């Protein structure tokens, strides 16, 4: 609403940061590959290509977090930026494909996530000029953010799936039990039992099994 009213651009900092980090990482890999020149890829025993650490990995002390932030947060125009870095502060950030794209910014551990976020913005010289804090009661937040109907549908689907699986497995087990009894019929006949006695015994056994 604020972005629309004041004609500002919206920026989800984490998503923009990860996307830019992935792009820059691929560019660095390409530069390293061009600088080194072609080298036949190594393969393991199953003929799968082994990732080339010389090309894939940045140096241990490489960290362009601040530079990336300056790239994605354009200081020449007004922005509405999300006020939190969703997902916490893991040791490594990963892109959508699961690959590590950037060593995480790690301020002192004594700071909470909010302070880390602010410290990172300040270091990149991208602090907010105006901060708007929105407060919401817990019941209201749950009502707005949680789709109870969707949760109920998914719960019902899982329960039906579980029940169908249980019924199917019971039929399989019951058939196996009946086959077990049939396999013992010849032995019971040799033992002197009549067909009526055998059927009665089978029926009693299956009743107990059921």
CA dist 110 and 112 (Å) reads: 7
pLDDT of residue 152: 94
Residue 206 has a pLDDT of: 93
pTM: 0.52
Q: Is residue 100 part of a domain?
A: yes
Judgement on whether residues 22 and 106 belong to the same structural domain of the protein? yes
Mean pLDDT by 10 residues, the chain (210 residues): 88 83 88 85 80 82 87 88 60 51 45 71 88 85 88 95 95 94 89 89 92
Regarding whether 9 and 68 lie in a shared domain, the answer is yes
Q: What's the structural domain count of the chain?
A: 2
Q: Are 33 and 55 in contact (CB under 8 A)?
A: yes
All residues at 6 or more sequence positions from 131 whose CB lies less than 8 Å from its CB, including other chains: 83
Q: Which of 134, 167, 184 is the last residue of a domain?
A: 134
**Predicted pLDDT at 94:** 53
Please answer whether residues 70 and 11 qualify as being in contact, where contact means their C-beta atoms are separated by less than 8 angstroms. no
Contact 72, 9 (CB under 8 A): no
List phi, psi (to 5°) of 136.
-150, 135
Strand-pair category, 100-103 with 79-81: unpaired
What letter does residue 49 receive in the DSSP assignment?
B
Q: Domain range spanning residue 178?
A: 148-209
Measured CA to CA, the distance from residue 101 to residue 83 in angstroms comes to: 22
d(CA 192, CA 201): 14
Token match 């820059």: residue?
24
Residue 141 counted as domain residue: no
How far apart CA 59 and CA 77 sit, in angstroms, is: 34
The confidence score (pLDDT) of residue 48 equals 83
Q: What pLDDT shows up at residue 106?
A: 46
The pLDDT, as a whole number, for residue 87 is 52
Answer yes or no: do 174 and 88 share one domain: no
Q: Of 74, 105, 134, which residue constitutes the final position of a domain?
A: 134
Q: Is residue 83 part of a domain?
A: yes
The residue assigned the tokens 């080298």 is 39
Q: What is the pLDDT of residue 112?
A: 62
- Residue where a domain stops, chosen among 87, 103, 134: 134
In this structure, the answer to whether residues 38 and 117 fall within a common structural domain is: yes
100 close to 58: Cβ distance less than 8 angstroms? no
Dihedral, CA atoms, 126, 127, 130, 133, nearest 10 degrees?
120
């Amino acid at each position: 609403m604020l972005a629309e009213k004041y004609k500002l651009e919206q920026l989800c900092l984490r998503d923009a940061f990860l996307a830019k980090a992935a792009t820059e990482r691929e560019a660095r890999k390409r530069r390293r590959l061009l600088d080194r020149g072609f080298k036949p890829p190594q393969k393991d025993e199953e003929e799968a290509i082994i990732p080339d650490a010389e090309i894939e990995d940045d140096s241990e002390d490489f960290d362009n977090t601040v530079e990336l932030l300056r790239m994605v947060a354009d200081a020449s125009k007004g922005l509405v930026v999300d006020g939190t870095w969703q997902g916490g502060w893991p040791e490594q950030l990963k892109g959508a494909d699961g690959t590590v794209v950037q060593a995480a910014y790690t301020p002192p551990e004594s700071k909470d996530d909010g302070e880390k976020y602010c410290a990172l913005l300040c270091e990149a010289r991208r602090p907010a000029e105006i901060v708007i804090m929105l407060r919401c009661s817990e019941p209201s937040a749950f009502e707005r953010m949680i789709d109870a109907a969707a949760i109920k549908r998914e719960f019902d689907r899982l329960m039906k799936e579980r029940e169908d699986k249980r019924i199917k497995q019971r039929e399989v087990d019951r058939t196996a039990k009946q086959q077990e009894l049939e396999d013992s019929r010849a032995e019971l006949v040799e033992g002197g039992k009549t067909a009526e006695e055998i059927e009665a015994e089978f029926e009693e056994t299956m009743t107990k099994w059921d």
